[in-house]
Amino acid sequence: MSPTRSKDETRPEIGNFLKEIRNSRGLSLRDVERLTEGKISNGYLSQLENGDIAKPSAVMLHRLAGAYGVDYALLMERAGFVSESAAPANRVATSVLGELTPDEEEQLLNFLGYLRSQKSKK
């Protein structure tokens, strides 16, 4: 009998990553729908974040990059469209902190989300 896996363990990396970015910015699914002028529905984004859509299109990633203010190449890399070595490393955190592992990047996003949530309580 195989051990059961949580939804987070089975969700594709891009879904986890997109959810972390959205949460770190304090955005709801509906906020993203509004930011993209309805081009990305909250239902589609929910399915993507939950792993029901494993491979978003490059167009959708471009829209999300604009809405989240993140590097499009980073999203393309996380979705498996380009290799890590082919993606430009021009992110601010990378330039300040050096190359980050995916785990370090995830921890930074979680911490940023926490800081922003505390700021909104004031």
Instruction: Check if the beta carbon of residue 69 is closer than 8 Å to that of residue 35.
Output: no
Q: Does a structural domain hold residue 4?
A: no
Q: Does a structural domain hold residue 71?
A: yes
Q: Does a structural domain hold residue 5?
A: no
Residues 34-92: tens digit of each pLDDT: 999 999 999 999 999 999 998 899 899 999 999 998 888 888 888 888 765 544 444 55
Q: Does a structural domain hold residue 103?
A: yes
Three-state DSSP class for 87? coil
Q: Does a structural domain hold residue 97?
A: yes
Q: Does a structural domain hold residue 15?
A: yes
Instruction: Check if the beta carbon of residue 24 is closer than 8 Å to that of residue 113.
Output: yes
Domain of residue 95 covers: 10-121
* Whether this model's pTM surpasses 0.85: no
Q: What is the CATH number of the domain that holds 70?
A: 1.10.260.40
Number of structural domains found in the chain: 1
Q: What percent of the chain has pLDDT over 90?
A: 39
Indicate whether 5 pLDDT > 50: no
Q: Does a structural domain hold residue 3?
A: no
